[in-house]
Amino acid sequence: MRSFPEVALGIADVGGALRHAAGRVTGAAHASARAQYLVTATAIIGQVRGLAPGAYEYDGAVHRLTMRACDDHRERLARATVDASWAAHCPMLVLLSTRAEHADGYFAELGPGQGERFAWLEAGLIAQNLYLWASATGHGTVFIGGLDRPAMADAAAPLLPAGHTVLGIMPLGHLAE
């Protein structure tokens, strides 16, 4: 789905999506190698009633959003994709990111690159959870993996924890009629 009505989401939509996609205290969670939870979900809020535009890090353990940057960052992030400029008009984007160096270091005894590989797998599980939540609740999403890596690194750096790179972006909005 690539056409979202520009209708604001409610704060309960944001909470529901993130809890089901990346929460880990409710049982509605995702698998993570050695429970390291290598992937961070950052909510890029554009049009959500009761939530100021900005980038919010989601802590799935306590189901909490913490603002990392104010203002609307959707346009700049959408421009750093290969073909998803339409994402700028979606009420909210979920950025999935990891600190690849840290992941590789933690799983170093398994060989080079294994930690990052586990992060990609974890991102896939989170993404599928978000698809399932969206289809169960009348929302739409698309996994966007086509990124202009240097442009995305520039656009996302101020929005993410230090050392993180974006694995994928998932716009979230109401389904078009």
Ligand X SMILES: Cc1cc2nc3c(=O)[nH]c(=O)nc-3n(C[C@H](O)[C@H](O)[C@H](O)COP(=O)(O)O)c2cc1C
Residues of this chain that bind ligand X (CB under 6 A): 1-2, 81-84, 142-146
C-alpha to C-alpha distances, 106 to 32, 93, 155, nearest whole angstrom: 13, 29, 27
Q: How far is the CB of 21 from ligand X (least distance, A)?
A: 16
Name the pairing type of β-strands 92-98 and 54-59: unpaired
Q: How far is the CB of 86 from ligand X (least distance, A)?
A: 8
Q: How far is the CB of 17 from ligand X (least distance, A)?
A: 17
* Shorter beta-carbon distance to ligand X: residue 38 or 90: 90
Q: What are phi and psi of 97, to 5 degrees?
A: -140, 165
Task: Take residue 25 and report the two structure tokens written for it.
Answer: 């205290």
| DSSP result, 53-122 | SEEEEEETTTTEEEEEEES--HHHHHHTBSS-GGGGGSSEEEEEEE-HHHHHHHTGGG-TTHHHHHHHHH
**In the complex, residue closest to ligand X by CB:** 146
* Shorter beta-carbon distance to ligand X: residue 39 or 65: 39
* Shorter beta-carbon distance to ligand X: residue 24 or 42: 42
* Shorter beta-carbon distance to ligand X: residue 82 or 110: 82
Q: How far is the CB of 165 from ligand X (least distance, A)?
A: 15
